[in-house]
Amino acid sequence: MTEYEAVIGLEVHVQLKTKTKAFCGCSTEFGKEPNTQVCPICLGFPGVLPVLNRTALDYAIKVALALNCKIHSPTKFDRKNYFYPDLPKNYQISQYDLPLSYDGFLDIDLDGKDKHIRIRRVHLEEDAGKLIHKESTSLVDFNRAGIPLLEIVSEPDINSPEEAYQYLVTLKSIIQYLDVSDCDMEKGSLRCDANISLRKKNTIEFGTKIELKNMNSFKAVKDALTYEIERQKSLLSKNKAIVQETRFWDTKELKTFPMRTKEEAMDYRYFPDPDLPMFIITQEKIQQIRESIPELPREKIQRFIKDYGLSLYVAKILVSSKKDADFAESCLKAYPNKDKKTLVNWLIGPLLQEANTRGCGLADLGITPQGLNELLGFVEKELISNLVAKSVLTEIIEKHKSAATIIQEGNLIQISDTESLEKIAKKVIQENPRSVQDYKGGKNNAIMFLVGQVMKKSQGKANPKIAQELLKRLLNE
């Protein structure tokens, strides 16, 4: 059988979180009453004049620089003409032949191996309105019309659904670090179209591409690509040609269906927008924006590994959001021991678990690095067991009390004195003759069961190490 290689290029749209729209003063706030954030400019009334939102341009430059792009100066806006009910002007202000930036790249990590994905261009445009289909009617909300939108186009350097997924995760994380977009696919502030073709392995020429639309999560992009690879493979292996078309991902059927073919593709008749000047982006401006770019996830991962002795796996988890990375770093700095293992296990273990169940980040749990250190101090001095410490953590988060208070109020200090433990151990031995027999018969595991029983009887407060020693002594007597 012929072996095929997937060739994938992604087009990502990101809404910039400016307060006002790209070419007028209307608010960009999400979720407001339909058609309340509109004006003659974003509604496309005749005779109105757009004025570029400088912040939108600055944000766009910031992303372009973070993606290693070159900046075009001057840069130009063009009209992309088409008719659609959500497009009040009958054209979209976009960029055609002099996009803001070009020739960048994004390095992604694939299980410890790097891959370099070239970025063709990053340009600025405006969003369209939104159609809402209800039973037999369709409604239109123009609140979204005119919100600044970045288009980030990759070269077809991506070769698998997994790589596409990693590209998206990495891109999103960078843009969130730059604090210029929420990148929330559910709210539509990040959207992705995927282009995919197959070619025989070890050949150079590209096959015919299919454009995939309507994926509303990164997983959906991955699933749609996986489906599409199989569909195209099956056609090619039967010697059937792929026709260039746009297909949409059906989220219920989990299949792609045709939307429009190349013949139906629009000719946008781009031409320079006569209402907007060319924009010169000075070296000073570029320098100033470059300096405002914070340390990005990749560099942060490397630094965390170097400075705190973390593994790549741990570092990747901790830097996934800037806020959490900053929190984790405060914890790492405040933690008194040179060996950060215990702290790290708590961060990516119980704390992350708490964050996940609450649908928030580590930094939003309300626990301070000092508060965490206090708790870990009790664990390290063996004053409380790990198990108890976890429930104390939950209480710290829920009741905003300190570890010391909770431990004192709950009388949670671990039982380490032999006398009280001996009483419990004796009882456990009495109640579990089978395990005792097993142990005496040479089954060393049986001791763990008995320790477990001591823990249970003491409501998790027994010091497990001492309990085990005690049990062994009693059983060997």
Contact residues: Zn ion, CB under 5 A:
24, 26, 39, 41-42
Site mask for ligand ADP (CB under 6 A), range 9-28, x = bound: xxx-----------------
Does position 435 interact with ligand ADP (CB under 6 A)? The reply is: no
Indicate the residue among 52 and 153 with the shorter CB distance to ligand ADP: 153
What's the min distance (Å) between Cβ of 24 and Zn ion?
Answer: 3
Does position 340 interact with ligand ADP (CB under 6 A)? The reply is: no
> Which partner in ligand ADP, Zn ion, none is near 384 (CB below 5 to 8 A by kind)?
none
Indicate the residue among 191 and 322 with the shorter CB distance to ligand ADP: 191
Query: Exactly one of 16, 185, 190, 196 binds ligand ADP (CB under 6 A); which one?
Result: 196
What's the min distance (Å) between Cβ of 142 and Zn ion?
Answer: 9
> Which partner in Zn ion, ligand ADP, none is near 164 (CB below 5 to 8 A by kind)?
none
Applying CB under 6 A, the span of 2-10, 13-21, 129-137, 338-346 interacting with ligand ADP comes to 2-10
Site mask for ligand ADP (CB under 6 A), range 134-163, x = bound: -------------------xxxx-------
> Which partner in Zn ion, ligand ADP, none is near 383 (CB below 5 to 8 A by kind)?
none
Answer for the pair 28, 18: CB distance below 8 angstroms, yes or no. Answer: yes
Does position 313 interact with ligand ADP (CB under 6 A)? The reply is: no
Applying CB under 6 A, the span of 4-12, 23-31, 86-94, 402-410 interacting with ligand ADP comes to 4-12
> Which partner in ligand ADP, Zn ion, none is near 24 (CB below 5 to 8 A by kind)?
Zn ion
Q: List residues near ligand ADP by CB under 6 A.
A: 7-11, 153-156, 195-197, 206, 209
